[in-house]
Structure 1
Amino acid sequence: MNTRVFSKSILISAALVLSACSSSPEEEDLALVNQGPQALYDRAKENLTNGNFNGAAATLSALDSRYPFGPLSHQVQLDLIYSYYKTSNTDQALATIDRFLRLNPNHSDVDYVQYMRGLVNMDADTNLFQDLMGIDRSDRDPSMAREAFNDFRQLLEKYPDSKYAADAQKRMMYIKDRLAKYELAIARYYMKRQAYVAAANRGQYVLEYFPDSPHLQEALELMVECYDQLNLQELKDNTLKTLKLNFPNSSHADS
């Protein structure tokens, strides 16, 4: 009889343990919310530390909605911006960034938020699959790259002493290269269709706006070809002078 009672007590204990372990994620989330903002934030920080950015974004978003004016609100938004960036959630990241900049123009971390805006737009411009496969798609829409360039430019203009300024400058050089390649890709497209005026204008655009680009020689050579096709001798001669002066080894220099 004692053995039976003992066995029943073990079964009951095991059932209670299993019942406690089988609580649903929704119940756990509800319990966490009921503990207050600090418990939610601690969970979000744990997710960030572990690289669970989707989980962090979900928790931070809930915290931001439930306690929009609490003592943690600014840090929650900063962490939320980073989480959205790491999960490539461009729309939500930009919306959170713009709201922060609008409501907190004098915050000590506003330079970081402006810098993150550039990173988010720059990330939106990339195509990871094409980069991994070595596919050059210079002709893809550069609108997000231009947005990123303007974001970094504003950072340098408003906060020249920011610790993010040096990295922003490097990224601007990369974006310049990207935009110059785009202009030349479109120029080559026009040349194939014998739209030489449009092609020459694209080359001229590179000269005017990206004079420190490594694609300056290609732009000048393209313009020489276009002016030659259009029988615009004076423009061709002037462009050749610039080409010979800066790139004497160019195959077009003897034209």
Structure 2
Amino acid sequence: MLRSDAARNALGTNRLGKVIRYASLAVALVVAGCAAKDDIDQLALNDTPAEVMFNQALALRASGDVKSAEKKFAELDRVYPYSEFARKSLINIAYLNFKMGKYPEAISAANRFTSLYPGNKDSAYALFIIGESYFRQIPDVGRDQSATAKALQAMRELIQRYPDSEYTKQARQRIRATEDQLAGKEMEVGRYYLARKNYLASINRFKTVVTNYQTTRHVEEALYRLTESYYALGVVNEAQTAAAVLGHNFPQSEWYNDSYSLLKKGGLEPKAGSGSWLTNVFSDMKLL
């Protein structure tokens, strides 16, 4: 039976679409390192429409079968890459992995989403998933704080790019917590150096706290430790300035009382020096 030109064109377009789709599947699987023939054939034979697969995945998610839902969304993403339903699936993959506590997988999916769809409204949520996934992996203060720093970075980016997002309030809370954690790590290392009389190394750590984490609970002790370290080195001007800054900002602090007592033993008192880096950091103090 002869076909009309329109019918032949439609058939050709359909075949071309399938060729492109199968080629995309093969390339994606090769890149993923799992391009076994059976895998390609299985995906190529899956002619379930994207919308149907997406609704199946949503139904699994609604039923509480999180693991199966994630697999179905992932399958849709592989079978129909770069489609609208693949985009919707990807943010679901990130969320479901996060819900299952598979934080590296959640971060990977969310990072991919922000890279592919930077202007999409769900990018704010993807950034939140990244930050929250890192936040949930924060170890105690005595261990490496790489996850803490990455959580802080993601939450700051979220607030900067999407200040009116519904996730902004919680992101700010996470920022305060991560900053406190990072400051605590600096304090721990600083005390370690101070106890071994490595005063220059301890000063660098305490300086980081008062410069970068002024709103944390560690800043009072950091100012006292700066007083202590500078005094031990004989750098009187900086010791007096650190104590003055501490007294101005936290006059009722026990750390200030300790700083005052320390200086008094040497016949000194808290006094802000004009050439101190501390007066630049706390430039609003008007102590000079």
Measured against the shorter chain, the TM-score band is 0.7 to 0.9
Alignment of 1:19-168 (within 5 A): 36-38=49-51, 40-125=53-138, 127=139, 137-168=140-171
Q: Distance in 2 between matches of 1:187 and 1:86?
A: 37
Which residue of 2 is the match for residue 231 of structure 1?
234
Q: 1:225 to 1:50 in 2, by over 3 A?
A: farther
Deviation at 1:139, TM superposition (A): 2.3
Residue-by-residue CA offset, 1:23-53 (whole Å, 9 max, x unaligned) = xxxxxxx9xx675545544443344335443
Residue-by-residue CA offset, 1:95-140 (whole Å, 9 max, x unaligned) = 2222211221221222221222211221222x4xxxxxxxxx3122
Q: % of aligned pairs identical? A: 26
Q: Distance in 2 between matches of 1:47 and 1:199?
A: 55
Instruction: Give me the TM-score of the superposition, normalised by structure 2.
Output: 0.67
Q: How many aligned positions are there?
A: 215
Judge conservation of contact 2:107–2:129 (CA < 8 Å) in 1: no
Q: 1:71 to 1:234 in 2, by over 3 A?
A: closer
2:208 to 191, 202, 205: 205
Judge conservation of contact 1:88–1:124 (CA < 8 Å) in 2: no
Which residue of 2 is the match for residue 20 of structure 1?
none
Deviation at 1:67, TM superposition (A): 2.3
Counterpart residue type for residue 204 of structure 1: K
Q: Which runs of 5+ in 2 are unaligned?
A: 1-42, 263-288
Counterpart residue type for residue 222 of structure 2: A
Judge conservation of contact 2:70–2:93 (CA < 8 Å) in 1: yes
Instruction: Give me the TM-score of the superposition, normalised by structure 1.
Output: 0.75
Judge conservation of contact 2:76–2:85 (CA < 8 Å) in 1: no
CA RMSD, 1 decimal: 2.3
Name the SS for the 2:69 alignment partner: helix
Residue-by-residue CA offset, 1:198-221 (whole Å, 9 max, x unaligned) = 111111111000111111111111
1:215 to 218, 225, 237: 218
Residue 261 of structure 2 is aligned to residue 254 of structure 1: yes
1:173 to 173, 176, 200: 176
Name the SS for the 1:96 alignment partner: helix
Q: Distance in 1 between matches of 2:64 and 2:199?
A: 51
Q: 1:194 to 1:155 in 2, by over 3 A?
A: same
Deviation at 1:191, TM superposition (A): 1.9
